[in-house]
Amino acid sequence: MILKIFTRNNCPKCPPAKKLGRDLENKSQVRIQIEWFDVDKIEGMAEGAFYQVMATPTMILVDDKGKIAAEWRGKVPKESAILDKL
């Protein structure tokens, strides 16, 4: 599974999303790949457009076949909500 995290620098709600992503990266028992996207940059805008990201933070959990398994738009989910989808 891949967790795509979309943030921007001036977003007041993004620091908790960034912390959650870092926490998940540091959990060796959790099998999840984190991909970071800054929507203020070209690559982040392009990926965000593909997933129709209209708010930050946005987290999109994608399965191994590229299908969206879960998404949280404009909010930060609890870690357990993400882990329950794995």
Q: What is the domain partition of the chain in residue ranges?
A: 2-85
The predicted pLDDT at position 73 comes to 96
DSSP state of 14: H
State whether residue 10 is helix, strand or coil.
Answer: coil
- Segment 34-81, tens digit of pLDDT: 999 999 999 999 999 999 999 999 999 999 999 999 999 999 999 999
Cα–Cα distance, 85 to 43 (Å, whole number): 26
- Segment 7-28, tens digit of pLDDT: 999 999 999 999 999 999 988 6
3.40.1380.10, 2.60.40.1190, 3.40.30.10, 3.40.50.300: which CATH number matches 2-85? 3.40.30.10
The predicted pLDDT at position 82 comes to 93
In contact, 72 and 17? CB cutoff 8 Å: no
Cα–Cα distance, 59 to 75 (Å, whole number): 8
